[in-house]
């Protein structure tokens, strides 16, 4: 699995708000926010469920990993999504550890593990 997902007992807007708060508490900023529902409606006229992509970045970890290998930026920022499923609202965060293995660098792997742990804590704490 490339992500860690959890169903929450919140409405969509409250879930998005809490994810942003928890990300901030864990040292992440939200660099970009993509409203997929709005974008699909605007670009192709199609309806979609409420779905937000949050591009989250922890500057401390970003600096360390990019210092080791600038190509890791391909995987940045770390995406966290909030969406409405048929039976409720879900939060999912990427698992950077699996991607880090491709770089063959122990320090990158260690950083990715820390980021993944933080993102999992964010998802679990909402």
Sequential pLDDT tens for the chain (126 residues)? 899 999 999 999 999 999 999 999 999 999 999 999 999 999 999 999 999 999 999 999 999 999 999 999 999 999 999 999 999 999 999 999 989 989 989 999 999 999 999 999 999 999
116 vs 95: CA distance, rounded Å: 5
**Among 41, 4, 107, 9, CA closest to 18:** 9
Tokens of 5: 């997902």
DSSP string of 25-65, one letter each residue: HTT-EEEEEEEHHHHHHHHH------EEEEEEE-HHHHHHH
Determine the pLDDT at residue 13: 98
Q: Are 67 and 47 in contact, with CB atoms under 8 Å apart?
A: no
Domains annotated for the chain, with CATH where assigned, are 3-125 (3.30.310.70)
- State pTM to two decimals: 0.94
Q: What are phi and psi of 27, to 5 degrees?
A: 85, 10
Determine the pLDDT at residue 1: 81
Determine the pLDDT at residue 18: 98
Determine the pLDDT at residue 88: 97
């Amino acid at each position: 699995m490339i992500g860690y997902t959890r169903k929450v007992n919140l409405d969509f807007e409250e879930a998005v708000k809490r994810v942003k708060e928890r990300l901030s508490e864990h040292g992440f900023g939200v660099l970009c926010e993509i409203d997929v529902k709005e974008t699909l409606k605007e670009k192709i006229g199609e309806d979609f469920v409420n779905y937000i992509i949050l591009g989250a970045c922890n500057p401390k970890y970003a600096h360390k990993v990019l210092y080791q290998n600038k190509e890791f930026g391909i995987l940045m920022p770390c995406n966290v999504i909030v969406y409405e499923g048929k039976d409720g609202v879900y939060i999912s965060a990427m698992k950077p550890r699996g991607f880090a293995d491709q770089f063959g660098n122990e320090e990158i792997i260690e950083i990715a593990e820390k980021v993944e742990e933080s993102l999992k804590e964010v998802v679990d704490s909402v």
